Amino acid sequence: MAERSRVAYVFPGQGSQNIGMGLDLYNSYPSAKEVFNEADASLGFPLSRLCFEGPAEELVKTHNVQPAILVVSIACLKVLQEASRSNFLPPAFVAGHSLGEYTALVAAGVLSLTDAVLLVRERGRLMYEAGLKNPGGMLAVIGLDEGTVRDISLRSGTEISNINCPGQIVVSGAIEALAEANNLAKTKGARALIPLKVSGAFHSALMEPIIAEFSEIVSSFEFHPPSIPIISNVTARPLTDVDSIKEDLVKQLRNCVQWQRSVEYIMHNGVTVFYEIGPGRVLSGLIRRINSELQIFNVSGIEDIAQLAREFQ
């Protein structure tokens, strides 16, 4: 079994959702049921039912999907801890992709589950409102290097909003700017261009109108010092105190998600084993493209839990 210094937990962001996520855990493990019940009580509506039954058009709304993914991810973590009978190896680092950073905060004891659910619900609401005020979107550019995409973004008036792994970079901007970026990327030989199903130009200057209000909302919640170093999406370096965490969450709204550099930082500090905890397998795919020699485990449902639990017996 790996040593603690070689393990990191990572948590997925928006886009990893699916109808039915978490239902098998809810039906089988008391710890998962407690997580969903706490979230439902905090929000005042059955988020659990939305996760389990949909409809999809409601689940994908930014203010719904963000707390939903966070809650399912924490349920996965709690069930793994329950199933492994407290033998589950604690990590040297935790990190999350965009929204996933909030899940990492819960895992590190910075935010309670109740506060995190309420905070990301507000985050999602404001991000949606910013998209209404400044309509825009996000475009994944596949097969081009960072320098080429940076040149495309400068020429088109877009911004690089996610550096996910070598050959997968996302740009954000106004609709017209994204169309220009799409055309420029085609001429540069992009292998694929994928518009993301989001309600705005996240992690760009078009989020600026909500920064002040979100900063006030963040300051209204109680934060605790982290028990585990959290890797910042903005700097790809550890967040180790409450003030830097609050500042980072606000900056994250309009700055690039440095996922590739975050994984590289963790890896260069001795971690060779990553657990992707939550719905989907998006981060596992990205991590493999960053370094194919890393060991990656998924924790998204009962089958994953059962397989890993056997390793801890």
Q: Do 58 and 64 meet the contact criterion of CB atoms below 8 Å apart? A: yes
pLDDT value of residue 82: 84
User: Has 98 been annotated as catalytic?
Assistant: yes
Global pTM reads 0.96
pLDDT value of residue 5: 62
Which residues on neighbouring strands pair with residue 94, listed in sequence order?
Answer: 9, 230
CA atoms of 248 and 229, how far apart (whole Å)? 14
Catalytic residue among 16, 63, 203, 262: 203
pLDDT value of residue 1: 44
Which residues of the chain fall below pLDDT 70? 1-5, 85-88, 311-313
pLDDT value of residue 310: 74
Q: Do 202 and 137 meet the contact criterion of CB atoms below 8 Å apart? A: no
User: CATH classification of 136-195 is 3.30.200.210, yes or no?
Assistant: no
What percent of the chain has pLDDT above 70? Answer: 96
Q: Which two tokens stand for residue 293?
A: 């020699």
User: CATH classification of 4-131+205-311 is 3.40.366.10, yes or no?
Assistant: yes
pLDDT value of residue 80: 87
Domains of the chain, by residue range, sit at 4-131+205-311, 136-195
For residue 55, whether the previous peptide bond is cis, meaning omega lies within 30 degrees of 0, is yes
pLDDT value of residue 308: 80
CA atoms of 114 and 128, how far apart (whole Å)? 22
Which residues in 272-311 are b (16+ Cβ under 10 Å) and which e? Answer: bbbbbbbbbbbbbebbeebeeebebbbbbbbebbeebbee
Catalytic residue among 42, 98, 156, 172: 98
Query: To 10 degrees, what angle do helices 175-187 and 146-156 make?
Result: 140
Q: Say whether 136-195 and 4-131+205-311 share the same fold.
A: no
E strand segments, 215-284: 230-231, 238-239, 273-277
User: Has 42 been annotated as catalytic?
Assistant: no
